[in-house]
Amino acid sequence: MCGALGRYDEVEAAAPPPVDPSLRMRAAIGAAMSRSKREIPHYYLAHEVDLGPAMSWLAAHNASRPPSERVLPAALLVRSVALGLQRAPELNAHFVDGRVAPQESIHVGLAIALRGGGLVAPRIERTDTLSLDELMVAMTDLVTRARRGGLRASEMTGATITITSLGDRGVDLVVPAITPPQVAVLGIGTITERPRVVEGQVVPRPVVTISLAADHRVSDGHAGARFLHHVATLLMTPEKL
């Protein structure tokens, strides 16, 4: 049976699964994260990205659009990650039965907090093939169905990386845990104005810290850093998204 971060049948068999759905979800999350921390040698990297170009581009993009067609910064981040994975195939894989299993399609998981506690992380099918507008539709649909309990079991597996954003809650830096058999997770902090030096002048810029936790059995910090660099470069050239 599929659940919060994968499969309920991964819940350790020390006790029967709780009857209460919220407790079952907590047990499933606990089991997945315990396995993650027990088995996966995580390494962590962070990159502060100047979102000035992205926010300006987005403001212009949305200015003439009705609310139903507006794009959120999250869509830019998800698309940047999907395109970044095209250039970092070592991070588009699963780790199963002691082996790396490279994946051809790019399915990015999206961590969605549920009302009343718990979270799910369904995948966005073939994320790299979706335009920004298509991504907004897909993300809105997933969030809506996740919070109404309408996700399909098939949507809960297949992602190679999950994006978890805590930016709406004022978090600067996310230090996430990988959901097995995925091989990486990307955290997104709050978009906030900070002083930056631009052409010799200290100016306020909107910045965000993106953080990567990746599986050292599958990739090294060098590959992870290259991936983060690709993502940051894409975010700083939004017209290419």
Q: How many residues bind other proteins (CB under 8 A)?
A: 18
Residue (189 or 224) nearer to other proteins, CB:
189
Strand extents, DSSP E, 89-158: 93-96, 99-102, 108-110, 112-113, 119-120, 123-124
In the bound complex, what is the minimum distance in angstroms from residue 206's beta carbon to other proteins?
Answer: 13
In the bound complex, what is the minimum distance in angstroms from residue 240's beta carbon to other proteins?
Answer: 22
Sequence length of the chain is 241
Does residue 149 bind other proteins (CB under 8 A)? no
Does residue 113 bind other proteins (CB under 8 A)? yes
Among 56, 86, 131, 140, contact with other proteins (rule: CB under 8 A): 140
What is d(CA 100, CA 109) in angstroms, rounded to the nearest whole number?
19
Among 7, 42, 57, 62, contact with other proteins (rule: CB under 8 A): 62
Among 72, 151, 173, 223, contact with other proteins (rule: CB under 8 A): 72
Contact by Cβ (8 Å): 32, 4 = yes
Concatenated DSSP letters of 102-116: E-SS--EEE-EEPTT
Contact by Cβ (8 Å): 146, 112 = yes
Does residue 115 bind other proteins (CB under 8 A)? yes
Does residue 143 bind other proteins (CB under 8 A)? yes
Could you tell me which residues come within 8 angstroms of residue 223 by beta carbon, excluding any fewer than 6 positions away?
A: 88, 90, 91, 214
What is d(CA 11, CA 16) in angstroms, rounded to the nearest whole number?
9
Among 12, 20, 39, 168, contact with other proteins (rule: CB under 8 A): 168
| Residues marked as catalytic | 216, 220
Positions touching other proteins (CB under 8 A) are 59, 62-63, 66-68, 70, 72-74, 113, 115, 139-140, 143-144, 147, 168
